[in-house]
A and B are shown apart, each in its own frame.
Chain A
Amino acid sequence: MITATQQLESYLECFSEFEKLAAGHDLPWLRKLRRDAFARFCAAGFPTTHDEDWRFTNVSAIAQTPFRLTRNGRARLSQQELEPYRVAGVASQLVFVNGRIARELSLLSKLPDGVKVRSLAEEIPSNPGAIEAHFGRYLDVRRDAFCALNTAFAEDGAYVHIPRGTLVEEPICLLFVSTAEDDPSMSHPRNLIVAEEDSQATFVEDYVSLDGGGAVFCNTVTELVAGDHTVLAHYMIEREHKQAFNISTLRIQHGRGANVVSHSVLLGGALVRNNVHPVLAGEGGECLINGLFIGNGHQHLDNYMLVEHASPRCGSRQFYNGILDEHAHGVFHGRIIVHKDAQKTDAKQTNRNLLLSDDAQIDTKPQLEIYADDVKCTHGATIGQIEADALFYLRSRGIDEVSARKLLLFAFASECLDRMKQGPVRKHVEGLINRCLLQMANSAPGASTENRREDTGRNWEEIA
Chain B
Amino acid sequence: MSLLEIKNLHIKVDNHEILKGIDLKVNAGEVHSIMGPNGSGKSTLAQALARRETYAVTAGEVSYNGKDLLAMKPEEAACEGVFMAFQYPVEIPGISNAYFLRSALNAIHKYRGLDEIDAIDFLPLFREKLKLLDMDEKLMNRSVNEGFSGGEKKRNEILQMAVLEPKLAILDETDSGLDIDALRIVARGVEAMRKPDRAIVIVTHYQRLLNYIVPDFVHVLVDGRIVRSGGPELALELEEKGYGAMEAEAGHATPA
Contact = CB atoms under 8 A, between A and B. Distances in A.
Interface in A375-412: 387-390, 392-401, 403-404, 407-408, 410-412
A450 B56 CA distance: 12
B135 interface: no
A449 B53 contact: yes
B54 interface: yes
Contacts of A388: 54
A395 B78 contact: yes
A393 B92 contact: yes
Given A396-B51, A414-B94, A407 B103 contact: yes
A415 interface: yes
A390 B92 contact: yes
A397 B164 contact: yes
Interface string B75-90: 1011100011010011
A412 B92 CA distance: 10
Interface string B21-65: 000000000000000000000000000001111100000000000
A167 to B, nearest CB: 31
B115 to A, nearest CB: 16
Interface stretch (B104-112, B175-183, B203-211): B104-112
Nearest to B144: A393
A408 B92 contact: yes
A399 B92 contact: no
A398 B164 contact: yes
A390 B90 contact: yes
A421 B95 CA distance: 18
Given A397-B164, A403-B103, A392 B75 contact: no
Interface string B91-105: 011110000100111
B75 A401 contact: yes
Contacts of B94: 410-412, 414-415
A407 B52 contact: no
Nearest to B54: A450
Nearest to B93: A411
A352 B86 CA distance: 28
B74 interface: yes
Contacts of A399: 75, 103-104, 107
Contact of A395 (B75, B92, B164): B75
Interface residues of B, number: 30
Nearest to B104: A397
A450 B54 CA distance: 7
B174 interface: no
A393 B160 contact: no
Contacts of B131: none
B105 to A, nearest CB: 8
Interface string A404-430: 100110111011000000000000000
B177 to A, nearest CB: 18
A398 B84 contact: no
Interface in A409-464: 410-412, 414-415, 449-450
A398 B107 contact: yes
B98 to A, nearest CB: 13
A407 B102 CA distance: 13
Given A403-B103, A449-B53, A398 B111 contact: yes
A394 B89 CA distance: 11
A398 B73 CA distance: 10
Contact of B95 (A389, A400, A411, A449): A411
A393 B86 contact: yes
A449 B89 CA distance: 18
Nearest to B84: A396
B78 A396 contact: yes
Interface string A231-259: 00000000000000000000000000000
Contacts of B143: 411
A183 B76 CA distance: 52
Nearest to A409: B94
Contacts of B107: 397-400, 403
Contacts of B108: 398
B13 to A, nearest CB: 13
A398 B54 contact: no
A415 to B, nearest CB: 6
A392 B92 CA distance: 12
B92 A398 contact: no
Contacts of A404: 75
B95 A398 contact: no
Contacts of B84: 396
Contacts of B89: 393
16 contacts: A392-B74, A394-B104, A395-B75, A396-B52, A396-B75, A396-B77, A396-B83, A396-B84, A398-B108, A398-B111, A399-B107, A401-B73, A408-B95, A411-B93, A412-B94, A450-B54
Interface of B: 50-54, 73-75, 77-79, 83-84, 86, 89-90, 92-95, 100, 103-105, 107-108, 111, 143, 160, 164
Interface of A: 387-390, 392-401, 403-404, 407-408, 410-412, 414-415, 449-450
